[in-house]
Amino acid sequence: MNINWKWDMFFDAFPFILKGIGVTIGLTFACFLFALIFGFVWVLLRRIPIKPINWFITWIMEFIRSTPPLIQLFFIYYAWPMVPGVGASLSSFESAVLGLGIHFSTYIGEVYRSGIEGVEKGQWEASTALNFSTGQKWLKIILPQAIPPTIPMLGNYLIIMFKEVPLASTIGVVGILALADTYGTEHFRMLESYTIVAIIFLALSYPSAILINKLEKKMNRRFDKKAAIQD
Amino acid sequence: MTIHAIIDVFPVLMKGINITITVFLLSAIFGYLFAIIAGLCRLSHNLVVRGITSFYVEIFRGTSLIVQLFWLYYAIPMLFNVGIDNRLMAGVLAISLNYGAYMSEIVRGSILAVDKGQTEASIALNLSPFQRMRMVIFPQALRMMLPELGNYLIQMLKATSLVSLIGMTDILYHGNILRSTDLSAAPTVYLLLLLFYFIMALPLILLTRKGEQISKKGVAR
C-alpha cells in the first residue's frame, strides 16, 4: 500500500488554516466566559426553596446537558429567529457563544455547586452569628472559599470547550476547521488540511491539560494542608 | 408551532431513528471494548504496549471528536489511496475510539484504586496474574467505574448527532433537509429532535443513577 501524503500541500495549507486560530480561541473564551457567568444563574435558580420550581430547574438542566450541543446550535441559529414573539436573528458567532455557553453552563453550575457544598457548615453558622447580611455572607465568606478549589475543574472545562468549538463551523463560524474545509475542497486534498487541524488542536490542548494537571496537584496539596491545620 | 406541524414533521424524523440507534449501540459496545483494552494496556509492564496505548489515548483526548470523524472519513481513504466509503464504520470508529480513550482513563484509575491488599492476598492464594485480574481486581474496579461509564453513555448518545455531518441519514440529517426546504418548520424540527434525544437519554440517566447506587452499596467508607 503506498502512502499518499504530500508535504508541499501540508506547508501550503498550514498558514492558510492557521489564520482561523484567532476565531477559534476567541470563541472558546467567549463561550467560557458566558458559561462562567450563566453557571451562577443556575446555582441561584436551584437555591429557590420552592419544590416544584426546584424540580423544574433540575430537569431543565438535565435536558440541556443530555441533548446534543450540535442540535442546540442549529436550534439557536435556524429556529430561534422563526419563533414568534421572542425570536431574534443572531450572527453565527453570537449563536455559537449562546449555544455552547448555555450547554456548558449547566456543567459549570454543577462545579460551582460542588464547591459551595464543600464549604464547611460552620462557616455558614459563623457568618450568621457575626451578623453578616446575605450578600456579605456570599461575597466575603462562602464564595472566596468555594471557588478556588474548583479552578482546576473549571480549567478542564475550558479545554473540553476548546475541543467542542469546531462544532460552530457547521453554522458558519470560520475557525480553523472551516478554513480546512475550504482549503480541502478547493484543492481536493482533505488529508493534509484535516491533519493540520488535528495537530493544532493537539499542540494547544495537550500542554494545557498538563498545566491543569499540575495546578490540580498543587491546589490539592494546598487545601490538604489547610485541612491538616484545622484538624 | 401547531399540532399539524408536529404531525407532518414527526414521521420524517422517524426515518432516521434506526441509524441513530444503530450508531449509538455499536459505538457504546466498541467504546467500552476499547476502554477496557486500552485501560489494561496502560497498566502493562511492557514499555512498548504502554507507550502505544498512551499515544492513542493522548491523541484522541487531545483533539476534537468532529475533527477525528472528518479525518477518519475523508483523510484516511486518501492517505492509503483506497476507496472505502463506509460512513457507518467511520462514524462508529470515531465515536468509540474517542470515548474509548476517555473511558480508558477511568478503567485505569479504578483498577489502581482497588486496595493493594487485594493484590497481595490473591498472590498469597497463588492466583495467576490473569486470574487475579479477572476474579479479584476487575470485579471490584468495575463497580467503581459504573457511575462514570454511565455518564459517558449519555455523552456517546449526544455524539451520535455528529454522524449527520458525514452524510449519514440519521434523525438530524432528515431534520436538516426539512429545515432547508421550509425554514418556518425549523422550530418544530429542532425542538422535536431535542426531545427525541432527551427521551433516548432518559433511561440512560436513570441507569446511571442506579449505577451510582450500586457502586456505593456495601462499601466501607
**Domain total for chain A?**
1
- Structural domain includes residue A1: no
Range of the domain at B124: 18-169
Joined together, the cell numbers standing for residue A111 give 462545579
**Domain total for chain B?**
1
User: Which residue in the set B75, B162, B205 is minimally distant from A70, CB to CB?
Assistant: B162
Spatial distance between the Cα atoms of A221 and A39, rounded to a whole number of angstroms: 27
Interface contact B66-A72, CB threshold 8 A? no
- Distance (Å) from the C-alpha of residue A106 to the closest C-alpha of chain B? 14
Spatial distance between the Cα atoms of A138 and A124, rounded to a whole number of angstroms: 9
| Residue B218 pLDDT greater than 80, yes or no | no
| Residue A231 pLDDT greater than 50, yes or no | no
**Please, which residues have CB within 8 angstroms of residue B94's CB and are 6 or more apart in sequence?**
B65, B68, B69, B72, B73, B162
- Structural domain includes residue B132: yes
- Give pLDDT tens digits for A60-109: 999 999 999 999 999 999 998 888 777 788 899 999 999 999 999 999 99
- Structural domain includes residue B65: yes
- Structural domain includes residue A86: yes
- Distance (Å) from the C-alpha of residue A118 to the closest C-alpha of chain B? 18
Long-range contacts of A50-56 (CB under 8 A, 24+ apart): none
- Give pLDDT tens digits for A136-173: 888 888 988 888 889 889 999 999 999 999 999 999 99
Interface with B, mutate which of A21, A77, A82 (most B CBs under 10 A): A82
- Structural domain includes residue B32: yes
Interface contact B62-A202, CB threshold 8 A? yes
- Contact indicator for B168, B23 with CB cutoff of 8 Å: yes
Q: For position A171, which CATH number holds? A: 1.10.3720.10
Spatial distance between the Cα atoms of A69 and B194, rounded to a whole number of angstroms: 10
- Give pLDDT tens digits for A104-146: 999 999 999 999 988 988 998 999 899 998 888 888 889 888 8
Residues 157-176 of A with CB under 8 A from B: 163-167, 169-170
- Structural domain includes residue B192: no
- Structural domain includes residue B8: no
Residues of chain A positioned with their CB less than 8 A from the CB of B90: none
Spatial distance between the Cα atoms of A207 and B175, rounded to a whole number of angstroms: 39
Q: For position B140, which CATH number holds? A: 1.10.3720.10
Interface contact B75-A66, CB threshold 8 A? no
- Structural domain includes residue A2: no
- Contact indicator for A68, B197 with CB cutoff of 8 Å: yes
Range of the domain at A100: 7-230
- Give pLDDT tens digits for B69-94: 999 998 888 777 766 668 898 999 99
